[in-house]
Structure 1
Amino acid sequence: MDATETPFPDLIGSSDDDASHVIGPDLSKDTEVLANYLPGKACISRGALAGAPGQHGLRATPAGVLFTTVRRKPIGLTVDQPTTFRKCEIIEKLVEPFATDLVNMYFEKVNQCFPLLDEASFMRQYAHDKGKLSSALLACLYAQCMTFWRHSGVLSQRHRPDPRFVWNQATEAMYSELHVSPGMSTIISLLLNLNGRPLTTMVGNGVQLASAVSIAHSLGLNRNPSDWDIPQGEKSTRIRLWWALFVLDKWSSLAYGTPPHLKRGQHDVVRPTLEAFCGQPASMQSKSASVFRALVSLTEVLDTYLEHAYRLGPHEDRYPATVATEMELQLNQWEDSLEDGLRRVITRGMELVIPGSANLRLAYLYMKLLLTRLQLDLQKQHDVPNNSLLTNRYAQVRRAAEEIVLLIQGLNESHLCDFWLPLSAFTLSSTVTFLLRCALETEHSSLGLAQSMSLKLANDMIIALRGHRQTCEWDIGDICLVQYGKIVEDLSTSCSSNADDSLDIHGLREAMITHVQDIDELFPSLWDMFNGTSESL
């Protein structure tokens, strides 16, 4: 964004009663005709049309996108977001005089890896006219930085406010803005909240994600703004927010077991460019932006898998024999699309020093695990047990899972203090699930299970995650530890002490399922704050 350019109003929050809303394709032609004949009418003013930059009137194009004016606030509501402002003020009182340090930390640790905001524009607004910034956005930004408090040279010497209390205030501020005056800043607040750590509630996050998708569609974020007659800063922001939402939607779908909200064929936003993120970036900023662009394109590969995973019908209809080949081809093409330096880092795990690169490598390795698991399931449809091809598939799944275990074991403090998608927590628990499945399906005696490489790898994962939790307070492994820590430990101990006894495979499977708790039972629920308790996120 140019240094003299002012961020568009919806980004910084607005007290206006009106807001823009996209006009659906079934009404756009009718509205366009009315606008040409009745150009001064309020119901069709403030329109914008893709493909007609510089035009004040509406003009027809094959891919026309029209906007109209709608009421922003509920009828009869006269208050000016006192809850949002008050909650943000509480957080700022708790963190003063280090609020600016938290903002700087956000751009250093989070935004360069998962870019939502233009740093220069935001910092200029924050320094000279902070009162115009969305209070909900600021509150969620402060809350997200609680995770990195201990990693700051300045903040680590000071007492950290209770993160749960801070998240409570930020979440209430966000929901207040969502009710009173939803807009572009609300989408950013929701994305900040969804990206907050530790991850605590599936239902609450699902509600927030659906809200973000709904607002994004109403503001036309799913359409390519490249040719629109709007400031370049708004174009860049729209592109950044859309792809950030796309990434969270797909990985949330995989983690939570719910169909994704965003569908192919219903958006045409161009892929983000380095210029949209960095302008004239420094070397490390450019590399971090490249990591995010690679995460976006990898998520498109994941989308192929999700299209089949949530298709209703028999397994053979959901997963035709060609789907594994299609997914493998896309993953290979993704690897080839990476620039040489990044390709070595991600595919080989060499020198994971670029911010966000460790998170991207985990996502890449998990995609490989999904692929081998899909190939295993397809093989089982056609082969009898103990078939050599089927045995080879099990070995491939275990090897893919082993790469994830080795990555986790090799993480050092700089990696653990880096940016991680909270949804990565589910990739770790799923990896242990696959390993236990391989152990139980391929071994038929206590001795075999005790010596199983799959069980050993699961135990190695648990040990590594516990070590990271103790040394760096790394919360990404918490879900896996709570779900499987005791199970893996008990299974390893039981099999080793009863190596000569017969093995009740069915009983072990039932025990494993019984002990895996529901995620919402493991952590405080977001909905607690509506029931008068003090804990949510």
Structure 2
Amino acid sequence: MPRPTPVPIAAARPKKQHKPSPGKENHVAGKPVSSTVGPVANIRTRRERPCDACRRRKSRCVIHEGAVLCVLCEFHKQECTFVQSPLPRKRKVVDGEKKDSPSAQKKRYPVDAEPPPLALPTPTITATAPSPPHQSPLGSVHIPHLGETLGLQRRQHSRYIGLSSPFDSLLVGLSHFDARNESPTDLGTLRRVNDHECFIMLPDENTHEYVDEAETLAQVEQCVGGHGQALLELYFRIVHPSFPIIQKHLFIGRYRNGDRSFTPALIAGMYILALNWWSLDPRLAHLPKPDIARLEAIAMSSLSRSMEKPKLSTVQAGLLLLQRPEADNWSLTTQLVAIGQELGLHLDCSGWSIPMWEGGLRKRIAWALYMQDKWSSLIHGRPSHIFSANWAVQPITDEDFKEEGDGYETRAEENEDEQEEILRGQTLFAQMIGLTQIMAEVMDTFYTQVAIQDFKNAGKNSTQLILQRAKPVQIKLRQWHERLPANVKMNAATKSKFSSLGYLHLAYFATEITLHRRIVQSLAPDHDPYGFFMIRNAAKTRLISAMDFVNRLRPEHLQSFWYFASKINFTLIGTFGSLLWVTAPAQEEAEFYKTRLREYRWTLSVSSNRAQFLDYAVSMLDASRGMLNNLAEKPSLAQQISSAGVPAAPKRNPNGVGFQQNNGDGSPMEGQMYGSPELRRMHSGESFHGFCSGPNSGMNSLEGSVQGDA
């Protein structure tokens, strides 16, 4: 909703001109100064002293824009005066061992003080003329007005008010809203974002985390030993392009200007992920690596406390901490989903009265949370917490990645290669969202309790029912793969740079395997022979294609950023191979899968030198191999043929659609039937061969599979 010209930040009052102390904000009438940090729009600047009553209470004096009284004086129905002189503040000098004591830390960082800049090397900022302001629904800004945002304010946080809550929408509509669409109440400040949705803004100072935040930030920086800037450069170079849930230029601009009012868990999460590439930075490689265990403990503790005052940074921090290769926290995922709903991330924010750049950021975070929930559901085999009936987030677009208008318009221009990598990362992120939606449909179609009961009730017809439900999902999956942009295909040039394309294509194979896995599980020994072999051949070629993909990964893929689910997705390939081994009807086929799994294990163990998280997949393969030691010996294929005979030759589907042979990259080769040569080799007693080679060594598409015959 467009707003009129912003009102002044605080009510006009007589002020004494004080010379600002170093490190404090120097903001007058909203004009930017090169050495400052952006002001908070609805809280008075540091140059304004508190009123007499708030000074006596030792409370923060907050005045909403356009108001005459501060919040507390208005609440207590008393006069808000500025008559008394400030009391002299005694500063106790601490040194030695006392300097690091908790009591000394709290005295150095009082509640009403801005967190001091940490002792970090920051580049010198030269004053430059501001860029032309970007027009947004909230007015023109030159520097970040975080107070204009809904989910990034520094001194207060928002909570979504649902339709069935005590705040009835009709009653809320009777409230008087100012130019900022805010209405103060005894319980908090109502913030209306459109005609239907409303939030309540609550002060952070009532939470425990607010007091300890500066001290926690100091601990985080102490852990990385003053190398925070180098770690952030690694993060934005390797992780951020394909997982863009941070407002990059806003974050960098605040950091370089000395602003350290970040959520400790967020910046700790960025450091933790960047530490995976510590040895690749020439400035860091020869130095001892920071204690990552201590940093993780601080981050998780800070994240837990920040949930008392949830903001977008809380969800960002949680998502980053869950990207650690060793992270396996189902409960944290469910907590983040709940916090996202509390922040309204499940809603359509396209028409809200918030800055346009915040709308794009909210959508990116929302879809990242959606993917976290859905892939966690798959790898843990547990119910998802996000349902389509309550998910109103619009599809992500190119506009949602633009950061113009966040206040830092003067930013370094990327060269052509950097722009290409940024575009590739954005495309990768968007394509992963689309693939996740298809994967979620696979889970809803085959792995919910309702679906499991349907297949159980179908009895001997369960395979036919599964194939009928699989066809539309398989068509969507094939179309997604066919429409992949050229810059995110595995054969796209990487120009000797890290490439995270591997996690997207691995997720595609994991989705295919999850679909075929359910079909293979439903097969019964007395199933129609032709349909039985066709289904198993589709599964076999799917497995070979996935293993071949892993075998072709290059160092620039292995050493790049991998999405959190990748560790399990690599494992699922081995699990699928073990399933086909167990259900193989003949000894020759079982030996084929045994050989392929041995080769796959070797590939993973060699690749783990560059991607250590692959050790988990190797361990799972070993565990599965141990379970297979008790597998009974299977009869040979010759014995089965002599007793059962050869199945009749297959008839082509009257619709002209059958099992299709595919290229090595997974794309289908139209007009070719697949399966018959393999069937002939199986019936003639020929042994299976290793990885297929050549252009026709890909997968089977299940689209149009076994209609009428199975």
The bucket for the TM-score relative to the shorter chain is 0.7 to 0.9
Contact 2:348 2:393 (8 Å CA) reproduced: yes
Q: Give the distance between the partners of 1:174 and 1:194, measured in 2 at CA.
A: 12
Q: Tell me, in whole angstroms, the C-alpha distance in 1 between the residues paired with 2:282 and 2:596.
A: 36
Which of 345, 351, 355 aligns to 1:231? It is 355
> In the alignment, which of 552, 555, 571 is matched to residue 413 of structure 1?
555
TM superposition score normalised by structure 1: 0.78
Aligned to 2:296: 167
CA displacement, residues 203-228 of structure 1 (integer Å, 9 cap, x when unaligned): xx222111211111111111111111
Q: So what's the TM-score if we normalise by structure 2? A: 0.60
Aligned to 1:54: none
Letter in 1 for 2:193: L
Q: Is the 8 A contact 1:13 1:132 kept in 2?
A: no
The CA distance in 1 between the partners of 2:270 and 2:174, in whole Å, is 43
Equivalent residue runs for 1:420-435 within 5 Å: 420-435=562-577
Preserved CA contact (<8 Å) 1:111 1:117: yes
Cα 1:209–1:136 shift into 2, 3 Å: same
Map residues 515-526 of structure 1 onto 2, 5 A cutoff.
none
Against the structure 1 CA distance between its residues 177 and 401, is the aligned structure 2 distance closer, same or farther, given a 3 Å change threshold?
Answer: same
> Deviation at 1:387?
1.5
Cα RMSD of the aligned pairs, angstroms, is 3.3
Provide closer, same or farther for how the CA distance between residues 258 and 487 of structure 1 changes in structure 2, counting only shifts above 3 A: closer
**Offset at residue 134 of structure 1 (A):** 1.4
CA contact (8 A) 1:72 1:182 kept: no
Q: Deviation per CA, 1:335-362: give whole Å up to 9, x if none.
A: 24433443xx15xx56567732111111
The equivalent of 2:379 in structure 1 is 255
Alignment deviations for residues 479-510 of structure 1 (CA, whole Å, 9 cap, x no partner): 22122236548969x999xx9xxxxxxxxxxx
1:329 to 475, 481, 484: 475
Runs of 4+ in 1 over 4 A off after TM superposition: 9-15, 37-41, 70-74, 278-281, 317-321, 349-354, 489-492
**More RCO (CA 8 Å, sep 6+):** 1
Moved more, 65-74 or 121-130: 65-74
Distance (whole Å) between structure 2 residues aligned to residue 85 and residue 456 of structure 1: 57
For residues 261 and 477 of structure 1, the distance between their equivalents in structure 2, rounded to whole angstroms, comes to 28
Could you tell me whether the CA contact under 8 Å between 2:307 and 2:339 is conserved in 1? no
Q: CA deviation at 1:255?
A: 0.4
1:355 to 485, 496, 499: 499
2:339 aligned with 1:193, yes or no? no
How far has the Cα of 1:44 moved from its partner? 7.8
- 2:264–2:299 contact (8 Å) kept in structure 1: no
| 3-state SS in 1 of match to 2:386 | coil
Counterpart of 1:49 in structure 2: which amino acid? V
Match of 1:376 among 506, 515, 520: 520
Cα distance in 2 between the residues matched to 1:117 and 1:11 = 16
For residue 314 of structure 1, report the CA deviation from its aligned partner: 1.8
Aligned with 1:4 (options 129, 133, 142): 142
2:316 is aligned with 1:316: no
Q: CA deviation at 1:88?
A: 3.8
* Distance 1:376-1:69 versus aligned 2 partners, 3 A rule: same
Q: Percent identity among equivalent residues?
A: 18
CA gap of 1:389–1:234, structure 2 versus 1, over 3 A, is same
Which AA in structure 2 matches 1:421?
Answer: Y
Matched, 1:438 2:580: yes
Please say if 1:245 is aligned against 2:373. no
- Within the candidate set 156, 165, 181, 2:285 is matched to 156
Match of 1:22 among 140, 160, 170: 160
Equivalence for 1:213: 337
Match of 2:218 among 71, 78, 89: 89
Question: Which residue of 414, 428, 432 maps to 1:295?
Answer: 432
2:210 to 80, 87, 97: 80
The answer as to whether partners of 1:356 and 1:418 remain within 8 angstroms in 2 is yes
Residue-by-residue CA offset, 1:377-402 (whole Å, 9 max, x unaligned): 45x26x72572221221222122122
**Structure 2 unmatched runs, 5+:** 1-132, 135-140, 178-182, 405-413, 458-464, 637-710
User: 1:246–1:413: structure 2 CA closer, same or farther, 3 Å change rule?
Assistant: same
Moved more, 454-463 or 33-42: 33-42
- Which residue identity does 1:289 align to in structure 2? Q
Contact 1:49 1:66 (C-alpha < 8 Å) held by counterparts: yes
Counterpart of 1:175, as a letter, is S
Alignment-mate amino acid for residue 195 of structure 1: Q
Q: Is the 8 A contact 1:8 1:234 kept in 2?
A: no
Task: Give the structure 1 partner of residue 542 of structure 2.
Answer: 400
Answer yes or no: is the 8 Å Cα contact 1:118–1:277 preserved in 2: no
Per-residue deviation at 1:95?
A: 2.2
Judge conservation of contact 1:141–1:192 (CA < 8 Å) in 2: yes
Q: 1:355 to 1:32 in 2, by over 3 A?
A: farther
- Per the alignment, residue 56 of structure 1 pairs with none
Instruction: Indicate the SS of the match to 1:46.
Output: strand
CA distance in 2, matches of 1:448, 1:268: 48
Pick aligned residue for 1:271 from 395, 403, 423: 395
Partner of 1:100: 229
State the distance in 1 between where 2:353 and 2:244 align.
23
Could you say what secondary structure the match of 2:432 adopts? helix
Q: Distance in 1 between matches of 2:485 and 2:345?
A: 28
Distance verdict in 2 for CA 1:406–1:46, change over 3 Å: same
- Shift, 1:30, TM fit: 3.3
Q: 1:110 Cα shift?
A: 0.8
Measure the CA separation in 2 of the matches of 1:366 and 1:240. 23
Q: 443, 447, 457: which is aligned to 2:596?
A: 457
Q: Give the direction of change, closer, same or farther, for the CA distance of 1:495–1:78 in structure 2 (3 Å limit).
A: closer
Shift of 1:242: 0.2
CA distance in 2, matches of 1:150, 1:96: 15
Q: Which moved more, 1:150-159 or 1:183-192?
A: 150-159
Matches within 5 A, 1:488-499: 488=625
Separation in structure 2 between the aligned mates of residue 448 and residue 131 of structure 1, nearest angstrom: 61
The alpha-carbon deviation at position 112 of structure 1 amounts to: 0.8
Rounded to whole Å, the distance in 1 between the matches of 2:259 and 2:313 is 14
Paired residue type of 2:468: T
- Unpaired runs of 5+ residues, structure 1, are 51-58, 500-537
CA drift of 1:78 comes to: 5.7
Whichever residue aligns with residue 332 of structure 2, its letter is Q
CA distance in 1, matches of 2:197, 2:456: 37
Question: Displacement, 1:466?
Answer: 0.9
Greater mean alpha carbon deviation, residues 129-138 or residues 21-30: 21-30
1:234-262 superposed Cα distances (whole Å, 9 cap, x missing partner):
11110110011011111110001111111
Query: How many Å separate the matches in 1 of 2:266 and 2:151?
Result: 8
Task: Kindly name which structure, 1 or 2, has the bigger radius of gyration based on alpha carbons.
Answer: 2
Distance 1:95 1:49, change over 3 A: closer
Q: Aligned AA for 1:420?
A: W
SS for the counterpart of 2:201 is strand
Mapped to 1, the partners of 2:296 and 2:167 lie a distance apart of: 45
Tell me the amino acid that sits aligned with residue 198 of structure 1.
E
Q: 1:216 to 1:12 in 2, by over 3 A?
A: closer
Q: Which residue of 1 aligns with 2:421?
A: 284
Aligned to 1:31: 169
Equivalent position amino acid for 1:24 in 2: G
Number of residue pairs the alignment of both structures matches: 466
Rounded Cα–Cα distance in structure 1 between residues aligned with 2:478 and 2:189: 48
- Most deviating of 160-169 and 220-229: 160-169
Q: Deviations over 1:164-219 (max 9, x none)?
A: 3322222222222224x2221111111111112223x3xxx222111211111111
1:270-296 CA-partner distances (Å, limit 9, x unpaired): 222233225597122111100110000
Give a deviation string over 1:392-430, Cα, whole Å, max 9, x none. Answer: 212221221222211222222211111101211111212
Q: Contact 2:510–2:572 at 8 Å: present in 1 too?
A: no
